[in-house]
A and B are shown apart, each in its own frame.
Chain A
Amino acid sequence: MSAVPQIAPAPGASTTRRKKRERPRTTGGWLPYLLIAPAVIFELAIHLIPMAVGVWMSFIQLTKFFIRNWSAAPFVGLKNYRVAVDFNGIVGQRLLQSFLVTCAFSALAVLFAWALGMLAAVVLQKEFKGRAFFRTLFLVPYALPAYAGIITWNFMLQRDTGLVNHILVDQLHLTDTRPFWLIGNNAFVSLVVVAIWRLWPFAFLTIMAGLQSIPQDVYEAAEVDGARPLKAWRMITLPMLRPVNTVLIFVLFLWTFCDFNTPFVLFGSAQPPAGDLISFHIYNASFLTWNFGSGAAMSCLLLIFLMIVTGLYLALTNRRSANA
């Protein structure tokens, strides 16, 4: 396998050379194709073929009766899709509910993660003693393995023995009855909080990196002109961080929308409807029931939705940056 990385740089090197000389070359020959062949083959094997298989699965009735021999599974056309988007049927209803829960979850998690990250990055922008310590401390949730972090939250959110209820009920006496955090509707709050806790260090890190590229003299000039910190933030920091924010918010959105680990580890096998995120929902819809065709159709719908959102977002942000 060691041959591949050695060959890989060659096409790039030869094109720059070609440009420099401006010498017309006859195309053809097999070497360029051979050189990119490994990349193409692996791209096909790792990305495109599995995707194509996924799309194909969504058109067949791949249940436990056919899982051993896929080719025997009957072709059902759009049936899996029709069931998934039939919001009068129970499967569609549940999918829609899960979709809406995911939208709300994603919006809240991105908003708070970004706001917290921004706040921390701006506060830590000024030099002071102990700044490095806080910077490190804030990155801890991001450095922790996801499982370890979330399972700790699971312990803290237990009704009888959890730290959260101990503080809320035993110490602060805010409520008389101990609330549940991992079942019922509170589960949604728990899920959002845990997701924010996991995500905000990334927002913090990204924004902090972005802030380093804003020259200090702009702020000094603004201060001379009488701008208060909040105004300076609004008029200087925000616009100059625009490219960073554009990418950051988009990435956060994709991560939260497709989040699987958080509900999977937080709720285990007893996931409440209020915490039924869509990736998790699709996993349950196909793996617990062995109905992989239906799960594939839901995945394709999710893919289409995310592609539309991505397209709109890019169009919108590109146009605005072109205007700016």
Chain B
Amino acid sequence: MAAPTSEARAHSGPSYTTLLDFTHLGPLTRESAVKIRTVLALTTATALTLGLSACGGGGGGDTTSASPGAAAGGSTLTYWASNQGTSLDDDKKQLTPVLDAFQKQTGIKVNLEVIGWNDLQTRIQTAVTSGQGPDVVNIGNTWAASLQATGAFLPFDAKAMEAIGGKDKFVETALKTGGKEGEDPTSVPLYGLAYGLYYNKAMFKAAGLTPPTTWEEMVADAKKLTNPSTNVYGMSLAAGSYTENNHFAFINSQQNGGNFFDASGQPTFDTDANVQGIVRYLDLMQTHKVVNPSNAQYDNGTKSVADFSAKKAAMIINQNNADASIIANGMKADEYGVVPFPAPADAKNNTASHVAGINLSVFKNTKNQDAALKFVKFMTDASTQKTLGKPFSSLPVLKGETPVFTENAEEAKTFQEIYNTRSAPLPLVPAEDQFESTVGKAMNAMFAKIASGGTVSAADVKAAMKDAQDQVAASS
């Protein structure tokens, strides 16, 4: 930045006094004018340098590069955790002792930031774009293939897998969510979740019903338990949440033997199996009328949980982390039971859930790859899984472990069984995120139409799926 000063001094000989007129300040010599000028130039230059370097350096300071000269083994990691517990602060409280134990064991310090779900994807996007992010990050496991496509994450090849304890320790279906099939995964499972059908024991008993084992039984039960005049319905759905809706499009399509992407990764949204699966789900509100039309406005799962806890709905289909909210809403643990979400009697297969949950990824450009892998190993260790399984209501992602999130052994067994044997991963293709948003939002609109008195036919669903499919094709 010193260049303009000296250069300018060299060729600005004749016009000292014409540049700035300081006569009103009193007698000024040529020399003092030069001095003032130089001072001005220098201050400007300094100010600019400071300003520019501040711009350039901003945001980088919070990453690991800050402490290169730390003591042996004393490197620092930055870890972005997703919000799993009841609040960001609570998560921090739960994770801090775990991270302290890790530091004690390895000497590696972990800077923790817990990020809410609404911000997490944007934050990861920014980190990928700018190359300035954390070392280790939690991702929703359904994003795995999409995020893998960015190339920003470290593939767990044989060597990296070895470093975190070998791929054999994970439940097979869980590890499948790590990335695209046939490639080294860029994420490994951390917390397992699965859908289950929660039912209110007292309401079922009063109506003389037993928990359903087929879709048909579920609908029949729900009809018996529905009484709009008292505002009680057989089921409650998060029908206004595109993330929930696309999961049920997927699960119902799986039961029909359908797929949303073909082997080459091209979208096949409007096949009969998919359309019929979606119609079946919509019909809970449309034909069977066992769902309160208000549910079309429920934009996240906690609202149906609230209805269930308030005994306004006899059944909900939620992931096992609903336990915490159900109990927080005042229902006792022995007042509800869980069975797998049932498939129709003539279903092609009995998929009851997608493999839901949270995965752990390492940014490829981390300066502490060894430390990061050590951390991943630690987080996926049996003991850490046990510690965090309860507060975060998660299923262990490791073979041979039992869930600790509930005291109810039967419920724990049901969920672990669904997770290990009756769940399939959402499409493991880069366009998975677009499947979620296009199909899920189309279903939002269908539920909205049904709720406000319209009808949605199979042909309408097919047309909407064609639109969604074209959207995905157009933007890839």
Contact = CB atoms under 8 A, between A and B. Distances in A.
A68 B129 contact: yes
A168 to B, nearest CB: 15
Interface stretch (B149-157, B186-194, B277-285): B149-157
Contacts of B452: 179-180, 183-186
A4 B47 contact: yes
A289 B121 CA distance: 11
Given A65-B430, A91-B474, A3 B44 contact: yes
Contacts of B12: 28-31
Nearest to B131: A68
A272 B437 contact: no
A89 B474 contact: yes
A25 B18 contact: yes
B378 to A, nearest CB: 27
Interface string A283-294: 011011111001
A34 B44 CA distance: 8
B355 interface: no
A272 B242 CA distance: 11
B453 to A, nearest CB: 8
Contacts of B50: 1
A38 B1 CA distance: 13
Contacts, number: 144
A63 B151 contact: no
Contact of A14 (B4, B21, B55, B150): B21
A133 to B, nearest CB: 37
B55 A45 contact: yes
Contact of B448 (A25, A30, A180): A180
Interface residues of B, number: 57
Contact of A90 (B15, B48, B467): B467
Contacts of B129: 67-68
B241 A26 contact: no
Contacts of A17: 21
Contacts of A185: 452
Given A179-B452, A289-B433, A273 B445 contact: yes
Interface string A1-16: 1111001001000100
Interface stretch (B212-220, B294-302, B404-412): B294-302
A34 B8 CA distance: 10
Interface in B39-91: 40-41, 43-44, 46-48, 50-51, 55
B476 interface: yes
A175 to B, nearest CB: 12
A282 interface: no
Interface string A186-227: 100000000000000000000000000000000000000000
Contacts of A269: 241-243, 299
B347 interface: no
Nearest to A2: B47
Given A30-B4, A184-B449, A289-B434, A294 B44 contact: no
A183 B240 contact: yes
A3 B433 contact: no
A159 B150 contact: no
Interface in B1-58: 4, 7-8, 12, 14-15, 18-21, 37, 40-41, 43-44, 46-48, 50-51, 55
A91 B20 contact: no
Contact of A67 (B125, B299, B467): B125
B37 to A, nearest CB: 6
Given A83-B474, A289-B437, A272 B43 contact: no
Interface in B340-379: none
A29 B125 contact: no
B240 A270 contact: yes
B47 A180 contact: no
6 contacts: A2-B47, A29-B12, A38-B48, A90-B470, A91-B470, A177-B453
User: 6 closest pairs, A vs B, by CB?
Assistant: A30-B8, A183-B448, A3-B43, A90-B470, A270-B299, A3-B47
